Amino acid sequence: MEILSSLQINALEWIIIMVCGMLIGMSKVGVPGVSMIVVPALAFIFGAKQSTGVLLPILMMADIFGVAYYRRHANWRHLVNVIPWAVVGLLLALWIGEMVNDEQFKNLIAILVFLSIGLMLWQDKRKGTNFFPDKWWFAAAMGVLGGFATMIGNVAGPVFAIYLLAMHLPKNSFIGTSAWFFMIINFTKFPLQLFVWNNISSETLMIDLITLPAIALGAFLGFKVVKIIPEHTYRGFVIVITAISAFLLLL
């Protein structure tokens, strides 16, 4: 109890943190978008930049749950195409750092997500040949934007969802590819935030470890939810949740 009290977090804030851990656990096993309220919630408790240091290890623990369950379903061709560009986005965000206006960037991400969803729906309606997914510049644009978004504000979920939706991956392949992508990127971010931004400490790591049961509960609930969503409706489900997530970025 002395350790908990030394963290100077009240009961309501602990409840919020635990709910955030549960939502992240759900999102990492195939229920995308439900964790979008986590970013503003933790920012309210810890402050914008400090909250990213609290959130990253929670994401990393949740990534392990997702990869452990869907490790065999990843499409590595798409990962190889996009991860190098995502690293470029990470480094760009690291360089820009505090010079970026978080609100303006989140608004830009939301607008681009809405635009991409509109393009995909238009393309699906035409039922023609894909006009951008197989182009190198599409993977490059989504990778850089996703890497930048995840480093600045941990809001890359909608961006990478758009990339995978454009590839028309089956449900399990969508989840497995996403799980591997974010585990690789988040583990890459850890030393950058620890040694460059200095927003990860023994205190924040203690908070993260305490959320582990909530993450596990969220992952369990997420597995159950994904199983009851039919394969043919999962794409529409992800589009709707992604659009809602983008709308939340505008708030």
Domain segments of the chain: what residues?
Answer: 2-249
Please report the pLDDT score of residue 96 as a whole number. Answer: 75
Q: How far apart are CA 53 and CA 47, in angstroms?
A: 10
Question: Between the ranges 146-155, 162-171, 209-218, where is the mean pLDDT highest?
Answer: 209-218
pLDDT per residue as tens digits for the range 4-61: 555 688 889 999 999 999 999 999 998 876 777 787 788 888 877 788 889 999 999 9
pLDDT per residue as tens digits for the range 106-130: 676 677 677 777 766 766 666 555 5
Q: Which range (142-146, 156-160, 207-211, 226-230) has the least confidence?
A: 156-160
Tokens matching residue 142:
């989504």
> In the chain, which residue ranges form alpha helices assigned H by DSSP?
2-6, 11-28, 38-46, 48-70, 76-96, 102-126, 136-153, 157-166, 171-192, 202-210, 212-228, 231-249
Q: How far apart are CA 251 and CA 246, in angstroms?
A: 9
Q: What is the DSSP letter of 196?
A: I
187 or 157: which leads in pLDDT:
187
Angle at 116 between CA 110 and CA 118, to 5 degrees: 105
pTM attached to this predicted model: 0.84
Please report the pLDDT score of residue 105 as a whole number. Answer: 62
